[in-house]
Amino acid sequence: MSFDITKLDSLNKKLEEIEETKIYLKELEKSLSDITKKFKDYSEEEIIEIANYLYWNVSQIKSKVIAEELLNMTIRGLLKIIKPFESNIKCKLCNTSLFCKSRNELTYNRNNKFFICKKCREQRNEERIKTRDIETSNRNKNINYLKNLQYSEYLQSKHWRHFRENVLKRSNYRCSICNTDNNIHVHHRTYENRGHENYEDVIVLCGNCHHLFHKTKHIEKEVKNG
């Protein structure tokens, strides 16, 4: 006995015209149970083909009903034999059609305004990793370059002038010890991170406090102790 898919097409068109109410759904599921009794002469392949058709084209019939009534299995078993469905959803980058493995996946991606296929996602991630590696490499090269500069040259570098200005803004252009805004300097507390300093690596000092520090090292202790 051959399987006539046109009959199910006709059924589907009729179903779409009927109001989707709880009563209708119950009647539909009951009618499916009656229909499955007529499938006893069909081959396993034909019944699976019918299950595929109902699963993807007759959304009014629940997956559980198709699994239990038609195939005598669980929903998990149904999803293992369902063929991927080629939807009208297109990848926004390569225009490839989305093949869905379940109704939930189809519904999710229909609500996704910017669907990207797996291949394009992987390619985009590879490009991001490549870009990140290049940026990291360039940053390390720049840090090494700055570290190898003479200190007087380093103080004239674009990096230090930009960092120094940010430090001064954070301190409101005032000495961290006496709060004066006269003749302020940015002093390195450590040179370990030269070329990529943290704010904790420096301190803002006025000329007098800076001179006193270099003479006695006393201010640095006071700053560290709070």
Q: How far apart are CA 144 and CA 138, in angstroms?
A: 10
- CATH code, residues 151-224: 3.40.1800.10
**pTM score > 0.75 for this model?**
no
Domain locations in the chain as residue ranges: 1-83, 85-148, 151-224
Phi, psi (deg, nearest 5) at residue 199: -65, -25
Q: How many CB atoms lie within 10 A of CB 198?
A: 10
Going residue by residue through the chain, which has 226 residues, state the pLDDT in tens, using 9 for 90 and above.
455 556 666 666 655 554 444 455 566 666 666 666 666 677 888 888 888 888 888 887 888 888 887 888 899 999 999 999 888 888 888 998 888 889 988 888 888 778 888 899 999 999 999 999 999 999 999 999 999 999 999 999 999 999 999 999 999 999 999 999 999 999 998 899 999 999 999 999 999 888 888 777 655 444 443 3
Determine the Cα–Cα distance for residues 99 and 88; give it in Å rounded to an integer.
9
Dist CA 112 CA 102 (whole Å): 15
- Going by C-alpha positions, the residue among 40, 114, 96, 91 that lies closest to residue 70 is 40
Rg (CA), the chain: 36
